[in-house]
Chain A
């Protein structure tokens, strides 16, 4: 198992959130993770190829999403005000 942290920052308003769905080798994995307002969620993931499906909304001064995992070099990812819809590919390997 590998620990992956999802972190989100929302600026300029209080309605920001993201919902994160995990697909492992193409199949749904665990229940969706929700980050309501600035905060983080930690999950234990089995090794595999993951597609991380993220949607949410950024308040007037934007949002930042960070996936703490070495195979996710595209984050921190900045979003300006409005809808957040983005997918990330993550390869989780066995942690020794």
Chain B
């Protein structure tokens, strides 16, 4: 399969040379420019997404203009407006919010500029979407808990910011598994706002109220899982409680390798970022492209953590 891909790539390269590499240059002879608006570059996952986009752009010989929306949908709309004014060839949008970032997509499409949404959705359908299904991540994590506990036990769940798309979907996925596994009892669920310090306090309080009844913790991201883990270790209870997170950030992978964290779910930033740029370039070059690319999640445990540690090395 890999060899096959290599062959296709070689063919594409040959075709490119024959055409005088018109793909790299737009019709006017200029270099292809892609505007990128990212949700928030102070988030480790988004930083990785950004990096993989830069790599792919360098590989394909296109130019990126990367803006940080700093979690504000309003800022994101402004950034897209300025991309439209600059007449970029395509826009890659990493939406802050489902509803509030939609006008950005509307405006770009109205101006005839294709939009590729990456990682999260907007209400307005873009030209193409690259991402992962958050429900799947939670499903994978909760199924792992169900399997390790033999289908019965007490579980607590830490939510992200209430009302964010990722929180809603991870909640959905987790509850699907809970509904199918009547032996698993959800003792409590509460938000720790994706935050490690808040998760520590919440876990300490849960240890006080439920004590030995907690058999497993599902945190909707790794930051919170790490917080819960530290609290459990300090209370000398980690040996009896399973902790599972989502995202596979560097810290969590270390903890999995050291046998502290039981599992995390790998969301493929590299795959998402790279594919988003590739799709945008295909659209600009009028090549066939997938309207929807789903990059799968993977469960990471101590057995397979090695390969992910390498993949996310800074």
To the question of whether A and B form a pair in one complex, the answer is no
Binding site for A on B (CB under 8 A): none
